[in-house]
Structure 1
Amino acid sequence: MAKKIEPYACDPADSRGRRFPEEESAFRSCFQRDRDRIIHSSAFRRLKHKTQVFVEHEGDFYRTRLTHSIEVAQVARTMANALGLNTDLTEAVALAHDLGHTPFGHTGEDALHELMAPYGGFDHNAQALHIVTSLERHYADFDGLNLTWDTLEGIAKHNGPLLPLKDGEALPVTLAAYNDVHDLELHTHASGEAQVAALSDDVAYNNHDLQDGLRAGLFTEDEICEMALIRPAYDEVDRLYPGLDPYRRRHEALRRVFGFMVSDVIDTSAERLATLKPQSAADIRHMGQPVICFSDEMWQQIREIRQFLFTRMYRAPSVVEIRTRVTQVVRDLFPIYMQDPSHLPQRWRREIEEVRSEAELARLVADYIAGMTDRFALQAHERLMGVDVLHDVP
């Protein structure tokens, strides 16, 4: 059931519009058009073959960036609707939040950031903004997707304000460059819709990484039941369905864990909104604090899950072994393209004609590598290096 939109929700009629003005649609709001453009983008399709934790070749069951983004969007719509926020804007930000990820997940990002250190580094959040404002090249009148200011703001700062910077910090190069020509007000919090998208990401990956880790045999249900948030879910399922098939038991328990997290965000955020009484989307942006959040108790329980997953899944020997191998793929490809850009596809070679410095060439190469899927990166590496890193014995 759709809930009444609250005054603090982002109203498409009050959107700050697009950098390049366009005629409005007769049957879709500007936020619906943003969502649809993201779904139809090349970068979104490529998420199908980008890893979440496991490398893409390891099995069809495990989450990819695409299935993760769809799950985040589903959670985000549910929470936004319950809180009286704009569900279309929330969904657009949720669907776009991982567009900037490299092949091989955070492993690939870490390698690319290290390689790009002399040129300003690499950040997947900034890359998502770069993709939707520049790298998607489909429309006759502009580069990028020409999304509304509201959606771009949500992509850029859904995790909170980016200014002022702390000592030694710098804005990601691509983000700073775009903000110079289209001010996203990086000193404020994002809209409530973008904040919902950020927490939906936490809810989704904590839940599905538990499922994927169990499926991969990295830990057992007895082990995860030692955590405070998970034991009550299994106890309830065992009480209601004694002797249930193990796979159904797992699903029933983990969907309850999922529900605990979603309900906690809705209840806690509704209470904060009632206390803070924002009367507009601008009020939320200028609160000086997030308005969408977990309760303190839930946050502690989620931190326990995160620590467990970090130790038992993200740093599991089998996962680390594969990550070590695919890191080499990125480390090998970058200097090859830097030294001989003729290996790049024709479209990218045309871009080189406008490159004026080594830093610009490095950024172009990083854009190309970041856009690769796991499968494509492995194929390119084998073609250029003659090595199958996943199967050849080191």
Structure 2
Amino acid sequence: MWDWLSFAVRWLHVITGIAWIGSSFYFIALDLGLRKADDLPVGAQGEEWQVHGGGFYHIRKYLVAPEAMPDHLTWFKWESYVTWLSGFAMLVIVYYAGADLFLIDRTVADLSTTQAIAISLVSLAGGWVIYDQLCKSKFGDDNNRLMVFLFFLLVLMAWGYTQVFSGRAAFLHLGAFTATIMSANVFFIIMPNQRIVVADLQAGRKPDAKYGKIAKQRSTHNNYLTLPVLFFMISNHYPLAFATEYNWIIAALVFLMGVTIRHYFNTRHARAGNPTWTWLATAILFVLIVWLSTVPKVPGMDADAAPVSARQEAFMAAEGFEQAAATVQGRCSMCHAAEPVWEGMIVPPKGVMLETEAQIAAQAREVYLQSGRSHAMPPGNLTNITAEERAQIVRWYEAAIR
């Protein structure tokens, strides 16, 4: 049931994320494409004609607000809120509840579950506080300067997360750190400012333009951060990125790629030119990522040197472990190894290694689900694991958790 809960929340996260990102990208493109017209009403900044789905749309934007409150006003907020809430729920379900497996890497830092979760929560909340105070300070008056500093803050966080968490969890947390800033921008800044403007209109007062200016700054930051967040949220599929020696540098380059890609589209939407140089810049950044992902690791602590947790000891002591471990080592370790021997494979899938008994015990639940209860692994049953071997894995795991 826990895995089906994860399934449901994951899909909620995907659905609301698409809705939030879609509306965000649309409104940024709309804002950049606005044009002046002779018949614009008082207070209007520009207008745009668009065609979609067989119909024409005539859209106008007011720099501050119209002279009177419209009868119907659509708010865009729940997409952001539910995306963050469902994403945090996924963090709890997968990384907090499964801290020993997904969050903690004892070759990186020998943390307790409580310590790891505390670091996660404090970093997410602290990141927003630091960013928000910078935006509100004199330093934040220059948006270009602020965005450069924000990039270096994100690079620092990338390095920091890789010093305390597993590579997979570090990338996921970098995405969560950034997404928290983005959603908090909506909840704490953009929406309250819009409510102030609406309240002024309803009271017959002229709204102050500063509230729209502040909201626009935060919205612009969200726009440039969106693509990297998407990558980090699905990065568990890319061990070539997160399970390598220079993963934090790769993360920094991913942020830069997000900037170059968004700069191209934003410039095109604003009809301000065709910055094709961004294609070359993005390609160079990607080539650097490819190179960094395959650079040999600096010699250091190997997997056998990691402390064995009480959970691992329990699985290793359970009845049937020797037979199950032999099956996993014989059917799975040719790919799930520090140096896979399967042709064309450079790193183990999802960074999971199953060469030693301690590693198998650490991944017990995933082995049970992927190779015992289902036939997901090995892919296409390439190593010809038998039905009896799968049944043995099930008996071992269920004996261990009784």
**TM-score normalised by the chain length of structure 1:** 0.27
* More RCO (CA 8 Å, sep 6+): 1
Structure in which a larger fraction of residues adopt helix: 2
Structure in which a larger fraction of residues adopt strand: 2
**TM-score normalised by the chain length of structure 2:** 0.26
Q: Which has the larger radius of gyration?
A: 2
